[in-house]
Amino acid sequence: MSRGRAGLHLPEKMKEDAFKITTDETWHAQFTYDTLKQVERRTGVPTHMPETPQFVESLDRIHRRIDPDLRGIDELVFAVVSETLISNMLAEIPRDERLPVSVRELVADHAEDEGKHHAYFSSLLEYVGT
């Protein structure tokens, strides 16, 4: 969306915000990886990240079956659903006092970003719906 390849004609501000979301998501992937490696080092329990997550394989199958005229909408719908659902789940974790403070703080930061993403994708749906 930030590069204008989603088939949507977005206002410049929405493109700019899409770039920011891309940056956020890259950071989320990096700190998730770093956290997994820290857990692995401290516990001695190996972690495993699949080369291709199962949901990506499922989305690829859906994408291949979808009407060619609608391709791309599946990716947009997935982004909207996942970004709006995760913000609610992440908001609960920082309140769970069973977790170490460092984990709760990391998730709180992530939740703040995802809350912004939720607002963006909600406004994107409104924009596309007009």
Phi-psi label, residue 72: left if phi above 0, alpha if psi -120 to 50, beta otherwise: left
Six token digits for residue 72: 């791309």
DSSP letter at 9 equals -
Residue 23 banded pLDDT, cuts 50, 70, 90: very high
Q: Cα separations (Å) of 98 from 15, 29, 58, 92, 101?
A: 39, 24, 34, 12, 9
In this prediction, residues 74-95 reach a mean pLDDT of: 83
Mean pLDDT (the chain, rounded): 87
Three-class SS of residue 11?
coil
- What local confidence, expressed as pLDDT, does residue 129 receive? 79
* 13-29 burial: b if 16+ Cβ within 10 Å, else e: ebeebbeebeebeeebe
Q: What is the pTM of this model?
A: 0.77
Could you give the percent of the chain with pLDDT greater than 90?
Answer: 35
Cα gap 26→75, rounded to integer Å: 18
In this prediction, residues 42-47 reach a mean pLDDT of: 91
